[in-house]
Structure 1
Amino acid sequence: MKFRPCIDIHNGKVKQIVGGSLRDEGDRAQTNFSSEMGAAFYAEMYRKDGLKGGHIILLNHPDSEYFCETKRQAEEALHAYPGGMQAGGGITADNAAEYLRAGASHVIVTSYVFRDGKFYRENLEKLVRAVGREHIVLDLSCRKKDGVYRVVTDRWQRFAETEVNTETLELLSGYCDEFLIHGVDAEGKRSGMDEELVEMLGRWDGIPVTYAGGISSLEDIEKLQHSGRGKVDFTVGSALDLFGGNIPYETVKKYGSGK
């Protein structure tokens, strides 16, 4: 189990938001924290501390007036830590290689593959042809509905047909190098992780999986290590003291080696 750091960028600033509150109209989001430091500052910190495999997420839609500044911040972070972090947000087969050239180790893909409540396998296949599965992270952000976890699309507002279970992970692992899975109902709320989801992820033996959502204390991290059988990596956002929370970064970064 490893700690994967994050840099979320919204309206050109490093922020932590309540994930389900993000709206493209008016570039609005419920903000937990907004940093005065640029994205490169955090990337350089993670580089010095030897934390690999974290993610940089561009939260603005490509049509947003803020997108250019958000992208600039992301590129500066990638240049500060070449090969050390992944990049996501508006990734397609047409622009994925651009982020890899900028220094991303992987691209994180969501809406290009899952949107309008549907799974577009042909787009995923196109992306694999463009950059290779070894550079792809699939984001299977999900919420529970009728007793099962389903991928949610369109800013996490619409349920897709795709269930998140071990069978889906097995099927999709042939197209990617890792999974990033947000427990959307817990994301950004510091209310504790989705333990049932983590337990399910821990039962699967496959490519690396990173869980995000709701981790609010060191006790949660210990619980995740147990529930995920030591196989599920994790990220901490709003609860980390770097972003206005209470969990000490200096403590959590010790999980960076996976020990």
Structure 2
Amino acid sequence: MFIIPAIDLIEGRCVRLREGRLSSEEVYSKEPVAVAELWELKGAKRLHIVDLDGAFEGEPQNLKIVKRIAKSIKIPIQFGGGVRSLKTIREVLDCGVEYVILGTTAISKPEFVKQAVKKFKKRIMVSIDASNLKVRVQGWEKKTRKTAPVLAREMVKLGVRNIIFTDIRRDGTLKGPNISQIKKMLKVVNIPLIISGGISSLEDIRKLKPLEKKGLSGVIIGKALYTGQVDLEKAIGIGKQ
């Protein structure tokens, strides 16, 4: 089970939000390249980067920083935030990113997701972000009627081979992951699932570990790494057990 450190970018700064609200922004570093290098040094095998400016604007705004990060580390990067065209996917991949994450388009343009998967294969991931299992899009600002399990099934049918599930109500709260919702998602998909939202301790990682047998392939950790509540090296050790 991968333990994946997260870097969220706003105007080139490494930040964390609470439940996706811009008003809750906390700046943890003005040097995201150094942060990426630190996570690699501590044993991370993959890095999760979100361009929050891009998520709200509809087009990536921090690709220069992402390119610098990609040049400074050897581990693969999964990147999302405002990726809504094939041209943008190519631009992101050209920055040295290994996996591109689609979010809003999974709801608004499923045909585009199908095209992206056909063209870029396993390098396309879909992020399903939900509150009470109801999907939200456009930087989590817009509510939809679709549930996360239904959207996950639809994405699998389109050929998507990697899904990230984020529980918005837990994201940045350090309240622990919503195990019951994660189990519901694992029941409906037969592809690797990465989860995000609420990780606050090594005990949370231990609770998630048994779900690896049911398809949980990775856990994204953000705020808990920056506050020091989770030691990345120890978390990775639990993930490897």
Please report the TM-score for the alignment, with normalisation by the length of structure 2. Answer: 0.86
Alignment of 1:59 with 2:52, yes or no, is yes
* Structure 1 residue ranges without an equivalent (≥5): 23-28
2:82 matched residue in structure 1: 90
Q: Any idea what SS the aligned residue of 2:170 has?
A: coil
1:169 aligns with one of 152, 175, 178: 152
Which residue is 1:124 aligned to? 113
Q: Is the 8 A contact 1:83 1:105 kept in 2?
A: no
- Kindly indicate which of the two structures has a greater share of residues assigned to strand: 2
Give the AA of the match of 1:18. R
1:35 corresponds to which residue?
A: 29
1:26 is matched with: none
Q: 2:126 aligns with which of 120, 132, 138?
A: 138
Q: Give SS of 1:226's match.
A: helix
Q: What whole-Å deviation, never above 9, does each CA across 1:82-140 have from its counterpart, x for those lacking one?
A: 561111111122210111121111101112333xxxx32122133234x4231101010
Percent identity over the alignment is 21
Q: CA deviation at 1:182?
A: 0.7
Question: 1:183 corresponds to which residue?
Answer: 167
Number of aligned residue pairs: give it.
236
- Stretches of structure 2 that go unaligned for 5 or more consecutive residues are none
Partner residue of 1:236? Answer: 221
Whole-angstrom CA distance in 2 between matches of 1:170 and 1:113: 11
Q: CA RMSD in A?
A: 2.5
- Once the two structures are TM-superposed, the CA of residue 62 in structure 1 deviates from its matched residue by 7.8
Contact 1:8 1:59 (8 Å CA) reproduced: yes
Deviations 1:188-225, CA, capped at 9 Å, x for gaps: 11112112111223335522211100111111111122
Per the alignment, residue 100 of structure 1 pairs with 93
Amino acid paired to 1:133: K
Task: Verify: 1:2 aligned to 2:5, yes or no.
Answer: no
The TM-score with structure 1 as length reference comes to: 0.80
Distance 1:62 1:180 in 2: 16
* Structure 1 residues 201 and 229, CA gap change in structure 2 (3 angstroms): farther
